[in-house]
Structure 1
């Protein structure tokens, strides 16, 4: 039996492949390479000694999905595939709804047709919206402030409805906080196309000389230094959370949302200072006005993950930044 990872060539997907292979799991990667590089496959083989199965295909193409389920005996699916840039989602919302929501419905329909009803979904803490106070807990009301967040929330709601309609489904929605870091080898890491949307790859590209300076959006929040506070989690810890979730699916009937975070908050300026210290590089930045929809503080209550999955984040901020810098300095232009 095999585990299917949609979007498995991406940042979080590729790190999860490494952790699954370390557990002697047979992995099939399904990816359209829109936000990833074919070179990842070689890097995965270099790290693990195993070349995972790779099928180039698109969740928006049902025929592609049917073929992969026909060709491989799939036992469970980890669904990473999706567009993920908040700013872009505001500019082209229909593309996000078409790709993320319609593509996911295609996947779930084909899974049902092949009687594969074990699923871990890559969700996001963005589903908590802007009206909840941190620490964020899974029982809080959900909402979204942009089309990207809406797609995550819509897919979660589809999955809750699907599980209610058929008790044979076992589904875990993993709500990520802010993944950073890279594999300790420096062979795989976050490789955004174009200008990075997230803080750490932007800082890393300033440090390596690809970008001139970082914009810090607001220094007047109600936080210790005025800049936004977020819950940063090492991508390897996050990947291990998927392994634990897959192991737990056999015990779960229905659909359950679980946070993956550290439970700690770190400000933008703390990240910049730590990165400058570890990289021994100057991080040029300027303070600019707040972005609409940004909130002061976001961090997880991660107790449910510990109770249900027997998982907790182990790697500290120094390790996260050290691993990010190793990846970026070894790969100044990403995989290119």
Structure 2
């Protein structure tokens, strides 16, 4: 690529570089200001504030911090968008020099090198911007996951959500809270009624869940219905109720979330009770309006 085409391509690359640099400067200033306001309002402690600033590569708090509101960052003057003005802000990798464009008539090799240098600078600027966005988001979610606020999840999740959105980042993931109640009838052999209870609990222990994970994103526990236990010539018939609690993302309606939850429960019970003499009599899902997902992953979300 030579001549006017190379010059136009170079001009566009410089514009993209300048835009990424300005966006990172604005994001860094807004994030630092928002943190200091949160510290002043005692929403976060100083160690957490300092940790976040360090994680984001931003200037630390002054040695003697006076809790006064910080001025909002002022818009930076628009630089002249030419190939002569490619640079980087503080705290951003900027080890690539961009030289002025080649004079008219320069050979194709020089044009290619000039464009390659400018493209590398553009990529470095975009990478720095993307990295800061991810770092801010991950640290904010980590504060929620680790309960650094020391209060109710819902209240502080809304504050973190507002913080992220105010910086132009995506809100926290939403999910539908779903409770699913499964009614089963278990055949648990002979012996005393206590033997039947013990056998039912041992059988259903495989279906219990206290901590969600990727494969089974729910908690689950169950109990017998004592008044409905019966015995016939084939042994005890033990009614059992098993309740699942889950948060489901990616569904548009409550009905869709409920249908998906019921399907997950049926599949889980079928797999966990393979080879067990049982009958699933009813599965009922109750869905609440979507809210911020409690099971957040700082790296994934």
TM-score between both structures, scaled by the size of structure 2: 0.22
Please tell me whether Structure 1 or Structure 2 has the larger radius of gyration of its CA atoms. Answer: 2
